[in-house]
Structure 1
Amino acid sequence: MNNFYKNYKGIIWLLTGILCGSVAGLALGKKIEVLKPIGDIFLNLLFTAVIPLVFFAISSAIAGLEPGKKLSRIMGVMCLVFLGTVIVAACLTMIAVWLFPVHEQLTGAILTEKVNPQPIGNQITALFTTGEFYELLSRKSMLAMIIFSVIIGFAALRSGEKGTAFTRFLHGGNEVFKQVFIIIMKLGPVGLGAYFAYQVGVFGPQLFGAYARSLGLYYATGAFYFVVIFSVYAFIAGGVKGMQKFWRNNIIPSATAVGTCSSIATIPANMDAAKKIGIPDVIANVTIPLGGTLHKDGSSISSIIKMAVVFALFGKSFNSADVVLLALAMTVLVSVVEGGIPNGGYVGELLFIAAYGFPPEALPPAMIIGTLVDPMATLLNSTGDTVAAMMIARFTEGKGWMENGEYGLESGVTE
């Protein structure tokens, strides 16, 4: 019981705050608007911290790479597999959202803030670049700042010994702002509780139906992806035998993922499962640890669901071509960015809200959904790394990779 509380205490306290806020909103109605400034303060703290947090996280990660020690072939295939599975998850969820639209439950709960549409060319320019350096410090320029962070990281990497002091600064900044974000998130139960009380008090109990429908859609889509799509991936990797080996050895990683609610904590169980499946050590040792931070099928699904809910709350269509393409791009980016950051899902939500130009009021609904789907998201994120490693072994080693085992890569793929 103590371990359960330790692993889930963040979610438990957030849900407690949301529940208390809901009761207060139902009981007091529009009088609860007095609590809105508390929620606004929490959101402002998040928006303030997210820019330096993402900057240091990305630039320090790239600056800390070790050039010359790459398994280029494995890394190339790994990137393609990770990217492919995240896009499959996003497209599947997009279809589910179109078949079971969440906006049907939101007709009476549309938020009043308007989102000003801009031509697609202007959106792309503003999304990827800014005209002034100081504009990179705005949450509205998140993607431009991320691109700049990548450039800074590679510049520090190329500087070698001359850039050692700056690289240490990046690593130090990363650790400091991780702690800043952790400290701010301790206020989450109060901040989100206050904001949810405001939403329920102003818009009424129909919000519960909207969230329930969204959660039902997420868990149904996630269960289908877990059972059916993972089976397809395992079949691609090793036929019927691959499917049998994957599911036979996926029980412990699945239980670990749900029990800990952490992809990182599931890495040892995934490594053990990979060995039993027959994935070559050189592939498992590279793919599974990196997958723990970079490969997020479950987060891809939740990202689309959260976008659909926010669009519905603001009375916007979620089926135009430019919106869909940007949603897919944002989902891939969010899945990568959030991996190495504490409560990284919230950073992802900040990113897509800024990209689409939504006001701060769009954040609490996305955060609430992200909190409620976390167990299933972790299950998909973590166990998806093992089946991805199987496909990487298949594409680098050929059909006989399960028989070759750890000896299959003795010849010539490393550089």
Structure 2
Amino acid sequence: MRQQEDRPLTGTSQEPSAETGTRTAALSLQWQMLAGFVIGLVVGLAVYMAAPDARWVDHVTTYVTGPIGQIFLRLLFMLVIPLLVSALIVGIAEMGEIRALRRVGLRTLVYTLIVSAIAVAVSLLVVDLLRPGAGIDPAMARAMLNDAAPGAKAILSRGDDAPQGMAAFIAMIPDNIVAAMAGNDILAVMVFALFFGIGLMLVRTPQTQLLLSAMEGLLAVTMRLMGLVIRLAPIAIACFMFNLAAHFGWDLLIRLSAYVGVVLLALAIQMFGIYSLLITFIAKRSPLRFFAAVQEATVMAFATASSNATLPTALRVAEEELRLPRRISRFVLTIGATANQNGTAMFEGITVIFLAQFFSIELSIAQQIMVMMMCILGGIGTAGVPAGSLPVVAMILGMVGIPPEGIGLVLGVDRLLDMCRTALNVTGDLVAATVIAAGEEDQP
């Protein structure tokens, strides 16, 4: 396997035309998804105003738009386990690839978990306080809930049978990983993948290298298949939005605007609040000078909506503007581009709670803690994977009994939110590199 620190230079300099074509295709898909969102919303609103109680509308949603959306969701659910397992194992295992930086890798892992936990806690606090999804007529929400996801029943919450309190904490550790996968116990599966990745990081033999290569191959294949499935997203989004708009009408637009506002507020708190505290009290630097130094990378991340595409710029900013040690900045930023994704974790948490409020589903403290932990691990496991947060959000929705079709609500505005959370992700990577470098200066 290639050394991690060589990837940014070789990976960004070779085959520029292919990379440009990939970005163009991704941009085209984003516009198609936006078009699907608008078409489904407009047609659904027209039906809501013209024929809200017509029988043919139920037939269309039952036999046409509903099944199309279900096929899309089932394809995502089919890939979510191999995707998360392989991504999390590879992401953790690569932290120990450079032996001289093993201590830095451990510090980076601990930092990532702690700061991701803070990020998700901030997002859940904001969405719980402002409740952007609340206020929908419970009868309408319940009707939508009852009609939801016959094809996703296999992953729906276990409800009253779900463990609570200490039992829920213990249940995070699977006693049978095959049974956990078969039962779609995604949190237990992710904990297993986390420990497995740590094991591969600690054991370096030719056999474990082959095993890690196999995991990388599984990740590559799953990512490719996910890319093919995502091509169906514009059609699925149009179907989702038609179903939702036909049920909820203009209330849908109001709640969607509130959702976007809450996401942006939470991202701003993390960016200018939490990161400023880390820079001030741990890295011992001025937050104003830091943000001024990294603005080029932040703007690039916002424009491209890609942490990987911004990596060369972030590396240059870290070395030339922040004056960080090259060995630290390369390692931490390369890992961060695929693991330290605070914005992604916050987006997942807010989306789940927003949709729970939208469908009038009250989540217990234990359920919200479970959502928080899954978002923390999901931010590590799905980073760098195209549309990786989509199956994670859908899976979490199913686990807490929320209609997975609800993701159609947010996909139409995801382009703007993706740009914003990518800017946070890249800035967070630079914060991590600055904090880790400050800690290394204290080492003998």
Which residue does the alignment assign to 1:14? Answer: 33
Matched residues, number: 397
CA contact (8 A) 2:120 2:375 kept: yes
Query: 1-side partners of 2:277 and 2:105: how far apart?
Result: 22
Partner of 1:323: 367
Is 1:196 aligned with 2:226?
Answer: no
Q: Which 10-residue stretch deviates more, 224-233 or 128-137?
A: 128-137
In structure 1, the partner of 2:317 is 273
Q: Which moved more, 1:361-370 or 1:375-384?
A: 361-370
Q: How does 1:376-415 map to 2 (within 5 A)?
A: 376-398=420-442
Does the 8 A contact of 1:236 with 1:391 survive in 2?
no
Whether 1:344 aligns to 2:388 is yes
Q: Does 1:75 align with 2:119?
A: no
Do 1:86 and 1:297's aligned partners in 2 also have CA atoms closer than 8 Å?
yes
Work out which of the residue numbers 276, 286, 303 in structure 2 matches 1:259: 303
Structure 2 gap segments, 5+ residues each: 1-19, 147-156
CA distance in 1, matches of 2:306, 2:77: 24
Inter-partner Cα distance in structure 1 for 2:36 and 2:289: 42
Query: Cα offset for 1:215?
Result: 0.4
- The farther-off stretch of 162-171 and 214-223 is 162-171
1:24 aligns with 2:69: no
Counterpart of 1:373 in structure 2 is 417
- 8 Å CA contact 2:180–2:188 kept in 1: the answer is no
Per-residue CA deviations over 1:235-286 (Å, capped at 9, x if unaligned) read 22454x5324312212210111011100111111111111121211121111
Say if 2:363 is the partner of 1:333.
no
Aligned with 2:309: secondary structure? coil
Structure 2 Cα separation of the partners of residues 391 and 12 of structure 1: 38
CA distance in 1, matches of 2:272, 2:255: 26
With structure 1 as the length reference, what TM-score do the two structures score?
Answer: 0.84
Per the TM alignment, residue 194 of structure 1 is displaced from its structure 2 partner at its CA by 0.8
How big is the shift at 1:349?
0.7
Q: Is the 8 A contact 1:129 1:144 kept in 2?
A: yes
Match of 2:78 in 1: 48
**2:177–2:192 CA contact under 8 A, matched in 1:** no
Question: 1:325 and 1:366 mapped to 2: Cα distance?
Answer: 22
Distance 2:22 2:251 in 1: 36
* Rounded Cα–Cα distance in structure 2 between residues aligned with 1:60 and 1:384: 21
Would you say 1:177 and 2:222 are equivalent positions? yes
Residue identity opposite 1:141 in structure 2: D
- Tell me whether 1:87 sits opposite 2:131 in the alignment: no
Structure-2-length-normalised TM-score = 0.79
Contact preservation (8 Å) 1:233, 1:391? yes
Distance 1:300 1:55 in 2: 17
The question of 1:35 aligning with 2:69 is answered no
C-alpha RMSD of matched pairs (Å): 3.1
Unaligned runs of 5+ in 1: 399-408
Task: State the match for 1:403 in structure 2.
Answer: none
Sort the Cα spacing of 1:171 and 1:47 in 2 relative to 1 into closer, same or farther, 3 A.
same
The one-letter code sitting in structure 1 at the alignment partner of 2:108 is: M
Matched with 2:271 is 226
